[in-house]
Amino acid sequence: MILRNKKPGKGAKTTSGDEVREIGQALTESEKSITRAQMSLDRETQLFHKFLAGSNEAYRTLYDAYERPLYIYCCRLLGSEEEAKDLFQEIWVRMYRMRGEQIQVRRFSGLLFTIARNYCLNAIRDSKVLAMTPLDEMSEDSEAFMRNRDIESSDLRELLQKAMAQLPLQQREAFILREYVGYSYDEVAEIMGTNAANVRARAHRARERLRKMIGAWLELREKEHK
C-alpha cells in the first residue's frame, strides 16, 4: 500500500520550503550564538563553571594557577605577609563556598581579584596599618641616582616594600595589579571599578613616587656611609 501525503484541511497553515529554510537558518544562528558565547569564556572561567557544577579537579587547577599572583597581590597591598597568608586562605574558602550556586561569571580572574580586593580593603580599614607619607620634599633627580648606584637586590627589595607601603591605596593597587600580577589596564579597571585611563594615571604616579622615595632613601644612605 502506498501512503500519500494528506492535503492540509481547510484553514490549516502550510509551511513553505522558504519558511522551513528560514526556521532552520534561525536555529543555526541561535546555536552559533550559544557556541560563540561559550568560546568567548577563557579557560579559567570555563573551569570555574565546571567547579560550580561540582568538579573538585577544576577547583584545584584554578588554585594552582592563581595561588602565586593572588598571594602577591594580598601581600603587596596589605604590606604584611602574616595578614596576607590569613586573608589568602579566607578568599579561597569564600570561592569554594560558591560551589553549587547557579551563577554566570564573565571572567573568573575578575571575580577572584574583586573578592580579594574587598577582603583586603576591609582588612586595611580595620587595622589601619598602612600610613601615607607626603612626598613634597623627595629628590627630583632620584631616578638618575638609582641608575648610578650598585646596591644589593635584597636591599632594593626591602626599600621597595617600604616605599610601596607609603603609596596612596589606589596607586598601590593599580601598580600591583599591573606590574606584579601582569593584568592589562582594562582588566585592572574592571577589578578596581574604574576606567583604563584612571588606572594608567594611577600606575604612572605610583612609579614616579616609588622612584623618588627609593632614590631619596638611597641618597640618604650614601651620605650616612661617607
pLDDT in tens, 19-34: 545 544 544 444 333 3
Q: Is residue 187 part of a domain?
A: yes
- Could you tell me if 158 and 104 lie in one domain? no
Choose between 222 and 163: higher pLDDT. Answer: 163
- Could you tell me if 115 and 59 lie in one domain? yes
The top-scoring range by mean pLDDT among 17-26, 150-159, 169-178 is 169-178
Q: Is residue 210 part of a domain?
A: yes
**Using an 8 Å Cβ cutoff, are 191 and 113 in contact?**
yes
What would the mean pLDDT of 195-201 be, rounded to a whole number?
96
What would the mean pLDDT of 115-121 be, rounded to a whole number?
95
Residue 142 corresponds to which amino acid? S
The range of the structural domain enclosing residue 194 comes to 142-224
Choose between 121 and 14: higher pLDDT. Answer: 121
CATH number at residue 213: 1.10.10.10
- Global pTM value: 0.66
- Cell triple for residue 195? 576606567
Choose between 216 and 112: higher pLDDT. Answer: 112
Rounded to whole angstroms, the Cα distance separating 220 from 226 reads 10
Rounded to whole angstroms, the Cα distance separating 106 from 129 reads 34
Q: Is residue 27 part of a domain?
A: no
What would the mean pLDDT of 1-19 be, rounded to a whole number?
47
Q: For residue 165, which of 121, 198, 210, 199 has the smallest C-alpha distance?
A: 210
Number of domains in the chain: 2
∠ CA 190-159-215, rounded to 5°:
95
- Could you tell me if 119 and 58 lie in one domain? yes
Q: Is residue 29 part of a domain?
A: no
CATH number at residue 53: 1.10.1740.10
- pLDDT of 97 strictly over 80: yes
Name the percent of the chain lying above pLDDT 70.
69
- pLDDT of 176 strictly over 60: yes
pLDDT, residue 154, reads 55
Q: Is residue 32 part of a domain?
A: no
- Could you tell me if 152 and 210 lie in one domain? yes
